[in-house]
A and B are shown apart, each in its own frame.
Chain A
Amino acid sequence: MSFNVEYFMNALPIMGKGMLGIFIVTIAIVLVVYLLNSMSDIVNAIANATYKLLTKKK
């Protein structure tokens, strides 16, 4: 086992891309959760209305 600077230099961009990727995905999830929290009442109302509509037709 010896030091390998070349391997290290190859790993650095992966570290950059990896951390950037994690933050992008996380921020996307955070935004969606905020949206879900604020929209859940609306989503519920739509789901209930659709259910009522479907059961009425039957």
Chain B
Amino acid sequence: MDALLQNIYALDLKMVAMWIIGGVLIYLAIKKDMEPTLLLPMGFGAILINLPNSGAQEVIDVLFRIGITHEFGELMPLILFIGIGAMIDFTPLLTNPKLMLFGAAAQFGIFFTMCMASLFGFEMNDAASVGIIGAADGPTAIVVSQMLNSKYVGAIMVAAYSYMALVPIIQPPIIKLCTTKKERLIRMDNDGGKPVSKTTKILFPIVVTVIIGLVAPDAVALVGFLMFGNLIRECGVLNSLSETAQKVLANLITIFLGITIAARMRADEFLTVETLLIIGLGLVAFVFDTFAGVMLAKVMNIFSKKKINPMIGAAGISAFPMSARVVHKMGLQEDPQNFLLMHSIGVNVSGQIASVIAGGLILSLVK
């Protein structure tokens, strides 16, 4: 009997608190449909890892070591990037390349949050890892925080994925606060622009990899895998591989990624003041990403004859495709005839590229 009860005696309140957190993540995933592919495995993993003398600890630690740590080259998030690259259609961006500037501006939240985290006493590697929550891109956040050897990867991932799922709640009030009704009513051309040739679509991933690789060598793996996935999609001769990358590969990695992240959700590591602070700072990152994207559009409108609806700047946050949908929906609410989807998708995919550039630059500047 004693042997049976021994394990129950090893249970402490912190573990129970982690079960509750795990339960909340599972609830949000199932009931609220918030990033279920990751929040559900993370929630279950949080329960699994916080059972007293958990037998799963060893296997999850091995998965973490092989799949996520820098020792093995952050395999899982990078392979996931092939799938993401295969899912992205860059055509709206290639039709109107200047949309990329909004993606660049909307990375401001990363650096602002990094500064704020430093002010709160986080060391530079941890501050930069907290800032990268603003990349609104899970794989980038994992790779950067691992390469910077941050000890807060669990909290960073929970914050990153939760806020990505909360984009439809976080962004609209910020967008409304930064724009006037008149600005939100600005209509943009929907003629589709000049058609993009297949050659351009094929050369784009190669050229982007070379440019980013020359400037930020630490980002080569990130951008390279993303663009490799896109090249598979666009080349036109690897449709079966493209389909596999988009579905089977991405799903397989996602299953393991969520539960593996739970390795860093042990009660003693996770239930700290720093975790609360990281979750608060993550929100700051998303708010300032949105703010900066909108503000750049407003500044461009001062100099441009052809006005841009500043709401599309907010889609520069990388959370794809939620952010683009939020902007499109807000446009329709203001004016049922104003279709911003094409433009906001273009800005949104540019945010994906810009977040990788930001990750690479952070690595180059902080490492």
Contact = CB atoms under 8 A, between A and B. Distances in A.
Contacts of B97: 29-30, 33-34, 37
A15 B274 contact: no
Interface residues of B, number: 49
Contacts, number: 127
B115 A28 contact: no
A3 B117 CA distance: 9
Interface residues of A, number: 35
Given A32-B207, A37-B94, A43-B203, A25 B123 contact: no
A42 to B, nearest CB: 10
Nearest to B119: A8
Given A3-B119, A14-B365, A36-B207, A26 B101 contact: yes
Interface in A10-51: 10-12, 14-15, 17-19, 21-30, 32-34, 36-37, 40-41, 43-44, 47
A12 B119 CA distance: 10
A49 B123 CA distance: 57
Nearest to A37: B200
Contact of A19 (B107, B124, B199): B107
Nearest to B365: A14
Interface stretch (B172-180, B302-310, B355-363): B355-363
A36 B200 CA distance: 6
Contacts of A27: 101
Nearest to B102: A26
A24 to B, nearest CB: 7
B271 to A, nearest CB: 14
Contact of A7 (B119, B212, B216): B119
B101 A25 contact: no
B118 A7 contact: yes
List of 10 A-B pairs having minimum Cβ-Cβ separation, nearest first = A15-B111, A7-B118, A33-B97, A11-B118, A40-B197, A26-B104, A8-B119, A40-B199, A4-B121, A11-B115
Interface of B: 93-94, 97-98, 100-101, 103-104, 107-108, 110-112, 114-115, 118-124, 127-128, 194, 196-197, 199-200, 203-204, 207-208, 211-212, 215-216, 273-274, 277, 350, 353-354, 357-358, 361-362, 365-366
24 contacts: A5-B119, A7-B118, A7-B124, A7-B127, A8-B119, A10-B124, A11-B127, A14-B111, A14-B365, A15-B112, A17-B365, A22-B354, A24-B215, A25-B211, A26-B354, A27-B101, A29-B207, A29-B211, A30-B101, A33-B94, A34-B97, A37-B94, A40-B197, A40-B203
